[in-house]
Structure 1
Amino acid sequence: MQEPGVGASEIMNGIRHVRPGGGFEPKLTLFDKTQVNGDNEDEIFTFLKSACEFTDDTFASGLNYSPMRVGDIHWNFEKFLIDKTGKPYSRYHPTLITTDTISADINALLAA
């Protein structure tokens, strides 16, 4: 949980007044923080991780949840692409994802 703040309203205040600040109002729905790994992970991440091949089998130092499992999400920039029926299509490692890689997959899903 890198983003400071507890709950969507507190995080939104950080966006408005600190980073980027200046009264910035994002045009998106901001949800509360949720766990992506461990005993308290949100069921959506259990579903996504079970439906897509994992991208890495190593663990970074400093992780503090339990239990650690192969297939866990290792960094907040890891992405999942979901098709229009709600089925997970692909999972992208944060160091390997590029605009070209994900654009081709998005276009393939849009054309399907």
Structure 2
Amino acid sequence: MDLLSHPIARLDGTPSTLGEIIGGRPALLVNVASKCGLTPQYEALEAVHEKYAPRGFTVVGIPCNQFMGQEPGSADEIAEFCSSTYGVTFPMTEKIDVNGENRHPVYAELCLVPVTGGEPGDISWNFEKFVLDADGKPFARFGPRTVPDDPKVIEAIEYVLDKRGDRQPTEHRPTEG
């Protein structure tokens, strides 16, 4: 099954697919949590979304409660927190598992992508980031401590927005498969 075809509900419970949520745009997918030391990354995620949305890009927040119970809230609580604390306007999905026996199919595929400078494998913590091109093909993966506006993340975003091929970052070669 194509990565974009996997069913995943929106945060409000509306049935959807990753493809419908992304809407044919390149995207930055991030597993998020409201009670994590990395939660302030929401501010940079929103800034990246606002900066690049006019060029056809989106950030997608994917809540997960698998890391020390740091996303315990209901969908309504998550939506309220993100909106009132960080002014989040980018799309959010339902809360899912990103690792383990109940790993969502989207993450079963994403975990095959090597982290920048490393190997493929499980999601290591909240706020791991994946840059997808407009066709839903994973282009780059960044660890949780790499902030959303890190120059390497921005370079990957710029590349998927401008696929002329003349600006391909040296550290972020498109993944196979």
TM-score, normalised to structure 1, is 0.67
Tell me how large the CA RMSD over aligned residues is.
2.6
Preserved CA contact (<8 Å) 2:132 2:138: yes
1:4 partnered with 2:107: no
What do the CA deviations read for 1:53-92 (whole angstroms, capped 9, x no partner)?
14667xxxxxxxxxxxx71101111101101111001111
Distance between the aligned counterparts of 1:103 and 1:32, measured in 2? 26
The alpha-carbon distance between structure 1 residues 107 and 40, as it changes in their structure 2 partners (threshold 3 A), is: same
Runs of 5+ unmatched residues, structure 2: 1-64, 164-177
Runs of 5+ unmatched residues, structure 1: 58-69
1:71 partnered with 2:121: yes
**Cross-structure match for 2:98:** 36
Identity %: 33
**Cross-structure match for 1:87:** 137
Distance between the aligned counterparts of 1:37 and 1:111, measured in 2? 32
TM-score, normalised to structure 2, is 0.45
Deviation at 1:25, TM superposition (A): 6.4
**Cross-structure match for 1:106:** 157
Matched residue type, 1:39: E
Residue correspondences, number: 93
The alpha-carbon distance between structure 1 residues 100 and 4, as it changes in their structure 2 partners (threshold 3 A), is: same
Matched residue type, 1:5: G
Counterpart secondary structure, 1:11: helix
The alpha-carbon distance between structure 1 residues 93 and 110, as it changes in their structure 2 partners (threshold 3 A), is: same
Structure of higher RCO (CA pairs closer than 8 Å, 6+ residues apart): 2
Deviation at 1:45, TM superposition (A): 0.3
